[in-house]
């Protein structure tokens, strides 16, 4: 009975939300909190094509049936994995003639010959999954130093306006570098036509490759750049291909900060990076409560809905923050702590992005992240709020009782 009612609800939802996002159609992007896998917690920045596709294969087999559909490559996929390269190093990144980051050809061999992630995206799509990449704010320092010309995707060739050709130095805001990667990236001036043209050229290239999901970093929280968020959102809305927009990081995010951006995105981090310590898990309770109470869970978003994001789930087989090393250790949380984390993420209706190396996925972790009750709560529960403990008296129930919600 319960199963058939559940099925009826699913069918009903599909009936009303089928189809996607063209003008005049129902807005459906991220109609539930998105789920998937992200490479950061297990590979830091060094993942390569072989390891990524192996993980995607297992994602498709074991987790896609539970709604985990996005396979996402996290940061610095354009950087050479060699001695001397690290998170804020300079000079190891690949860019194309228009100043756009392209995959490091040694780590992503199928990208050679100007193909970018086309082949990887194709394989991911053949597995039934959707494909995501991480991007940093604005433009790379390398593109500005090279003074790369700006591509006009509408006309083809160099962007010209007011009788001149525009280049990276015209749009890069050198005083607004990314706080946590100062040698890597800076904001672009989105008040200029050329600044907008550059962002448009990025998203045109990436959606041509087949990207379905963008995690745009260094634009939120401490690195807040509302103009870039709204400009990118506008670019994405213009495209034929629907792209989920996820923004981060979430250090010191408040509901009032979210107020100005939630309609432009599909998910936004509301906490700093979450790793596998109890204090990290514990720090997510109050902020979840605060966002629930201002009704931001499942609010309007880019071409659909938006979701406050508690960050990836660092469970299973992991690496350490910011290192140049792949998966090599087990999650430090106890099983009770892991269950608490998965339960909080589910009732807060956070996106669920698994972070562990799927090639070493153990049965306990798999059953935790695929728990059917939690996943149903994560997708279908509504008006979730924090309740204080309620105490009743003997008079009411005939015996002393505590009811905990």
- Residues in region 136-175 near ligand NAG by CB under 6 A: 157-158, 160, 164-165
CB of 25 to ligand NAG, least distance (A): 39
Tell the smallest beta-carbon distance from residue 138 to ligand NAG (Å).
23
Rounded Cα distance between 266 and 258, Å, is: 12
Rank residues 165 and 234 by Cβ distance to ligand NAG and give the closer one.
165
* Beta carbon nearer to ligand NAG, 28 or 283: 283
Q: Which residues pair with 330 in a beta bridge?
A: 317
Nearer to ligand NAG, 113 or 388 (CB): 388
**Nearer Cβ to ligand NAG (17/278):** 278
Nearest to 248 by CA among 283, 222, 226, 220: 220
Complex with ligand NAG: residue 160 or 370, whichever CB lies closer: 160
CA distances from 311 to 83, 171, 301 (A): 29, 31, 18
With tokens 């935790």, the residue in question is: 368
Q: Which is nearer to ligand NAG, 133 or 150 (CB)?
A: 150
Nearest-approach distance from CB 157 to ligand NAG, in angstroms = 6
Residue closer to ligand NAG by CB (options 209, 345) is: 345
In angstroms, what is the minimal distance from the CB of 4 to ligand NAG? Answer: 41
- Tell me how far, at minimum, the Cβ of 201 lies from ligand NAG, in Å: 15
Please give the C-alpha separations between residue 82 and each of 190, 209, 324, 325, 331, in angstroms, as whole numbers. 34, 26, 9, 11, 27
Give the separation between CA 235 and CA 201, rounded to whole angstroms: 9
Radius of gyration (C-alpha) of the chain in whole angstroms: 22
Shortest reach from residue 102's CB to ligand NAG, in Å: 21
Q: How far is the CB of 287 from ligand NAG (least distance, A)?
A: 9
What is the smallest separation between the CB atom of 252 and ligand NAG, expressed in angstroms?
13
Tokens of 295: 């009704």
Min separation Cβ 149 and ligand NAG, Å = 7
Question: Which is nearest to 351 in space by CA: 306, 399, 402, 303?
Answer: 306
Helix, strand, coil in percent for the chain, rounding step 5: 35, 20, 45
- Residues 17-76 touching ligand NAG, rule: CB under 6 A, are none
Taking the least distance from each CB to ligand NAG, the nearer of 151 and 181 is: 151
Can you tell me whether residue 95 is helix, strand or coil? strand
Q: CB atoms < 10 A from the CB of 19, how many?
A: 8
Closest CA to 226 of 255, 190, 192, 193: 190
Query: If binding means CB under 6 A, how many residues of this protein chain bind ligand NAG?
Result: 6
Name residues contacting ligand NAG, limited to 74-103 (CB under 6 A).
none
CB nearer ligand NAG, residue 164 or residue 329: 164
**DSSP-derived secondary structure for 140-185:** EHHHHHTTPBPB-TTTSSB-EETTEE-BHHHHEEEEEE-TT-TTTE
Q: What whole-number distance in Å separates Cα of residue 283 and Cα of residue 101?
A: 34
Tell me which residues in 269-288 interact with ligand NAG (CB under 6 A).
Answer: 286
| Strands 139-140 and 35-38, sheet pairing | unpaired
Bridge partner list, 188: 172
For residue 158, the minimal CB distance to ligand NAG (Å) is 4
Cβ proximity to ligand NAG, 130 vs 269, nearer residue: 269
Q: Which residues bind ligand NAG (CB under 6 A)?
A: 157-158, 160, 164-165, 286
């Amino acid at each position: 009975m319960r199963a058939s009612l559940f099925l009826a609800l699913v069918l009903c939802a599909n009936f009303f939300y089928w189809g996607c996002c063209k003008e005049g159609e129902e807005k459906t992007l991220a109609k539930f909190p998105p789920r998937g896998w992200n490479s950061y917690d297990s590979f830091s920045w060094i993942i390569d094509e072989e390891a990524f596709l192996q993980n995607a294969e297992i994602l498709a087999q074991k987790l896609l049936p539970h709604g985990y559909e996005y396979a996402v490559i996290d940061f610095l996929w354009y950087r050479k994995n060699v001695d001397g390269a690290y998170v804020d190093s300079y000079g190891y990144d690949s860019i194309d003639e228009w100043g756009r980051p392209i995959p490091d050809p040694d780590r992503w061999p199928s990208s050679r010959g100007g193909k970018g992630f086309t082949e990887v995206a194709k394989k991911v799509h053949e597995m039934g999954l959707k494909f995501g990449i991480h991007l940093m704010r604005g433009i790379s320092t390398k593109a500005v130093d090279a003074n790369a010309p700006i591509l006009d995707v509408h006309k083809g060739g160099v962007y010209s306006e007011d009788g001149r050709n525009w280049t990276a130095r015209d749009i890069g805001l050198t005083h607004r570098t990314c706080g946590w990667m100062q040698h890597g990236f800076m904001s672009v001036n989105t008040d200029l036509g050329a600044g907008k043209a550059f962002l448009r050229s990025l998203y045109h290239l990436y959606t041509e490759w087949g990207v379905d999901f963008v995690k745009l970093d260094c634009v939120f929280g401490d690195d807040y750049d509302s103009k870039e968020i709204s400009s990118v959102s506008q670019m994405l809305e213009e495209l034929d291909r629907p792209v989920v927009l996820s923004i981060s990081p979430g250090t010191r995010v408040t509901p009032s900060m979210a107020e100005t951006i939630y309609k432009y995105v599909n998910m936004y981090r509301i906490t700093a990076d979450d790793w596998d310590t109890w204090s990290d898990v514990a720090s997510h309770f109050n902020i979840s409560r605060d966002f629930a109470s201002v009704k931001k869970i499942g609010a309007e978003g880019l071409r659909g809905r938006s979701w406050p994001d508690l960050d990836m789930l660092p469970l299973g087989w992991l690496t350490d923050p910011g290192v140049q090393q792949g998966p090599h250790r087990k999650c430090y949380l106890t099983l009770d702590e892991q269950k608490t984390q998965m339960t909080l993420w589910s009732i807060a209706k956070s996106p669920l992005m698994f972070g562990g190396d799927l090639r070493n996925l153990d049965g306990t972790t798999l059953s935790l992240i695929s728990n059917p009750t939690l996943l149903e709560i994560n997708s279908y529960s509504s008006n979730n709020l924090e309740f204080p403990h309620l105490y009743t008296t003997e008079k009411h129930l005939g015996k002393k009782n505590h009811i905990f919600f």
